[in-house]
């Protein structure tokens, strides 16, 4: 029986492919590694970031695409492609990016580093003294933890961990038992460093490094006494890392998730990386073991995992080859020695990370922990890290007898284990720990503090666009708002009631909340701008986000453009909207900013007849954020702070002609770097404007 294809709701020619958009973003990151204006060690770091991004791309997006292909899915993507067509295009582009990445490493970055006395010593260049030191390292540090596995009927191909470094060995001869297996596998334990630094006097340069893979290649024969090693080849398998937990069937989500996490390392393989010297026979053998096809093979000229080079910039003391040091600023109102509650009562406080320090957020929580007038603390946790000072503060608050409620999102991808750990520790000290709402990820960023003051209880809130994660707050651009505004803090309190209790969602006065009002409110705001333009007034929309893929919002933007609304979208990553199409989107411009910091804040501006409504949000404009997550968008009501958000969060970025990329109607990006115009670098200017001394 022939089944009709399941077609998208909207005309496919109006949309771009999501996976290709993600790869286009990684091309822009790769361009940072190719940019002579970027310090050399930072270029190496960007090269590593591309590898890290591609790992997650394969673990999640490519894994999902392959599942659709294998299931002969009848679904057609929003841009009109079948899963098979999309896979072919995405695979070809991914191969092209990887090839370009290794060319940049081998032809440009490594030679440039060598000129600066930072060398990766190849086996063919080792002198006797270096070889002896490296051999001693191998025997002392590596041999005791290596387990060679000869492949024969009693030793089948081992289970290979996701993204682990492994070596396939071709052998000849017989072992002590008379066995004549011609192949073996050596897995490199994760306790071993992937790059080893030699003493300077031995290296012959300021910084001499040797890859773990080079050491094993050279001395692998020591593991197979009396046999001849014909070949030794690095390989690495990337696996499907999406966890499947049927939340409707689970009685204890944490217990179920703890049982599922170990299986993430052994999902179906989606990619095989091998060194370029891997023999055809061994390549075919490995593909067969992982049940992969030639299209899933990535043959690389160098280490099979460039992420391992991420440690090099931090290991090399060359400030002249890195971004200049930067100290975030601290607003006077929340500076050292200030009473933060008193400051918030006077006026709302806006923090713009990483240009302004995250320390006031930590201090707010610390003061709440110590303050005897504080009776309750409620907080959401999505990503916070394994050594979070904020979580430690919550633990102390509970130990001090305060009512502590923490909404921990256990299904935060790749942070599940850390979040389970914090949930356990918080429960042990008597905190109320809830896991949000079944079927909806709690992705909002909210902190509510209840304090006993004259006249009764008063609420204080912190709302943000980014996670409560002090480390990423130094690397990601985000806004955070501290407020004691009665109606906003009341709204936040209502949201926490929803998350921890039961009952109908109440109408919020100021906050837009997914999955209830965020999507419809954004569309209504877009349509209001369109109505104003149709009636001869001014229509203006500016929005900044990480991703834009939700078709109904895109459709509303198209209609607003056709009505004459001028629309600027600043989208860091994937954007499936097609800008600049005559009759559809000629009034829409899309740009992307890629620089030293990861652009992460979500900002919405609507002219609104001159009122200039400004919202900050935890949500990107994606279907999952609107309908399958709990998210918040909150208004900036203080006129001074509103002006700051418009200037710092939007105008600086619209003027950027150094790190900005303009998107074409076919999804291609062109760098906006002009030698004639006055140079504007949004991140650099924000560092100067907001940074500390």
Report the catalytic residues.
443
Q: Would you say 202 and 208 are in contact if contact means Cβ atoms under 8 Å apart?
A: yes
Q: Closest Cα partner for 408 from 398, 392, 421, 395?
A: 421
* C-alpha triplet 441, 593, 329: angle, nearest 5°: 80
The DSSP secondary-structure symbol of 142 reads I
Q: Closest Cα partner for 304 from 55, 122, 108?
A: 55
**Contacting residues for 153 by C-beta, under 8 A, at least 6 apart:** none
Question: For residue 315, what are the β-bridge partners?
Answer: none
Tokens of 441: 């990820």
Question: For residue 452, what are the β-bridge partners?
Answer: 457
**Which stretches of 409-547 are assigned E, i.e. beta strand?**
432-434, 441-442, 446-453, 456-464, 476-483, 512-514, 540-545
Tell me the three state secondary structure of residue 6.
Answer: strand
What are the helix (H) ranges across 476-543?
486-500, 518-534
Alpha-carbon torsion angle 289, 291, 293, 296, nearest 10? -90
Q: Would you say 309 and 271 are in contact if contact means Cβ atoms under 8 Å apart?
A: no
Tokens of 217: 């290649």
Distance CA 195, CA 205 (A): 16
Number of H helices, E strands in the chain: 22, 27
Tokens of 363: 């201090």
Cα Rg of the chain, angstroms: 27
Distance CA 599, CA 292 (A): 36
For residue 570, the number of C-alpha atoms closer than 13 Å in the C-beta half-sphere is 24
Distance CA 554, CA 556 (A): 5
Q: Would you say 33 and 50 are in contact if contact means Cβ atoms under 8 Å apart?
A: yes
Distance CA 7, CA 21 (A): 20
Distance CA 261, CA 270 (A): 18
């Amino acid at each position: 029986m022939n089944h009709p294809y399941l077609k998208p709701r909207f005309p496919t020619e109006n949309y771009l492919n999501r996976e290709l958009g993600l790869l286009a973003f990684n091309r822009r990151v790769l361009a940072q590694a190719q940019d002579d204006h970027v310090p050399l060690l930072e270029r190496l770091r960007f090269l590593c970031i591309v590898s890290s991004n591609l790992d997650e791309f394969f673990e999640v997006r490519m894994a999902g695409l392959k599942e659709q292909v294998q299931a002969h899915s009848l679904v057609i993507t929003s841009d009109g492609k079948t899963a098979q067509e999309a896979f072919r295009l995405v695979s070809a582009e991914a191969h092209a990016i990887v090839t370009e990445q290794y060319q940049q490493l081998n032809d440009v970055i490594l030679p440039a580093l060598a000129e600066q006395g930072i060398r990766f010593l190849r086996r063919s260049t080792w002198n006797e003294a270096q070889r002896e030191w490296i051999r001693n390292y191998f025997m002392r540090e590596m041999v005791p933890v290596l387990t060679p596995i000869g492949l024969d009927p009693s030793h089948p191909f081992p289970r290979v961990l996701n993204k682990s470094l492994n070596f396939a060995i071709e052998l000849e001869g017989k072992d002590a038992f008379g066995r004549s297996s011609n192949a073996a596998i050596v897995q490199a334990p994760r306790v071993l460093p992937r790059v080893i630094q030699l003493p300077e006097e031995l290296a012959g340069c300021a910084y001499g490094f040797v890859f773990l893979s080079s050491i094993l290649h050279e001395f692998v024969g020591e593991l197979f006494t009396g046999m001849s090693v014909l070949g030794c080849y690095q390989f690495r398998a990337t696996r499907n890392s999406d966890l499947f937990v049927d939340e409707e069937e689970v009685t204890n989500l944490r217990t179920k998730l703890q049982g599922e996490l170990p299986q993430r390392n052994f999902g179906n393989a989606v990619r095989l990386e091998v060194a370029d010297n891997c023999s055809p026979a061994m390549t075919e053998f490995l593909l067969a073991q992982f049940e992969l096809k030639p299209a899933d093979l990535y043959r690389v000229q160098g280490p099979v995992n460039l992420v391992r080079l991420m440690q090099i910039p931090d290991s090399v003391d060359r400030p002249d080859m890195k971004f200049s040091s930067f100290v975030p600023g601290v607003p006077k109102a929340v500076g050292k020695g200030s009473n933060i509650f008193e400051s918030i009562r006077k006026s709302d406080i806006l923090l713009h990370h990483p240009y302004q320090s995250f320390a006031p957020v930590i201090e707010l929580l610390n003061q709440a922990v110590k303050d005897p007038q504080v009776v309750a603390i409620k907080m959401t946790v999505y990503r916070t890290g394994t050594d979070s000072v904020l979580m430690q503060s919550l633990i102390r608050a509970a130990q001090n007898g305060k009512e502590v409620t923490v909404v921990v999102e256990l299904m935060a991808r790749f942070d599940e284990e850390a979040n389970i750990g914090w949930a356990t520790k918080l429960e042990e000290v008597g905190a109320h720990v809830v896991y949000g709402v079944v079927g909806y990820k709690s992705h909002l960023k909210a902190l509510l503090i209840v304090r006993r003051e004259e006249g009764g209880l008063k609420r204080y809130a912190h709302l943000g666009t980014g996670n409560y994660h002090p480390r990423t707050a130094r690397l990601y651009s985000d806004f955070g708002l501290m407020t004691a505004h009665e109606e906003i803090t009341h709204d936040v309190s209502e949201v926490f009631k929803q998350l921890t209790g039961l009952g109908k969602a109440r109408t919020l006065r100021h906050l837009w909340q997914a999955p209830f009002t965020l999507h419809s409110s954004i569309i209504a705001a877009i349509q209001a701008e369109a109505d104003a333009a149709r009636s001869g007034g001014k229509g203006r929309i500016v929005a900044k986000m990480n991703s834009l893929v939700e078709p109904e919002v895109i459709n509303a933007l198209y209609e607003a453009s056709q009505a004459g609304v001028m629309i600027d979208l600043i989208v860091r990553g994937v954007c499936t909207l097609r800008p600049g199409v005559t009759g559809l989107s000629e009034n829409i411009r899309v740009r992307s900013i890629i620089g030293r910091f990861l652009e992460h804040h979500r900002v919405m501006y609507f002219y609104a007849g001159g009122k200039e409504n400004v919202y900050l949000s935890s949500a990107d404009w994606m279907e999952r954020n609107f309908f399958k997550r709990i998210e918040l968008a909150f208004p900036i009501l203080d006129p001074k702070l509103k002006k700051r958000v418009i200037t710092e969060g939007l105008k600086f970025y619209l003027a950027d002609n150094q790190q900005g990329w303009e998107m074409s109607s076919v999804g291609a990006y062109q760098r906006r770097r002009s030698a004639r115009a006055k140079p504007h670098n949004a991140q650099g200017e924000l560092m100067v404007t907001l940074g500390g001394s």
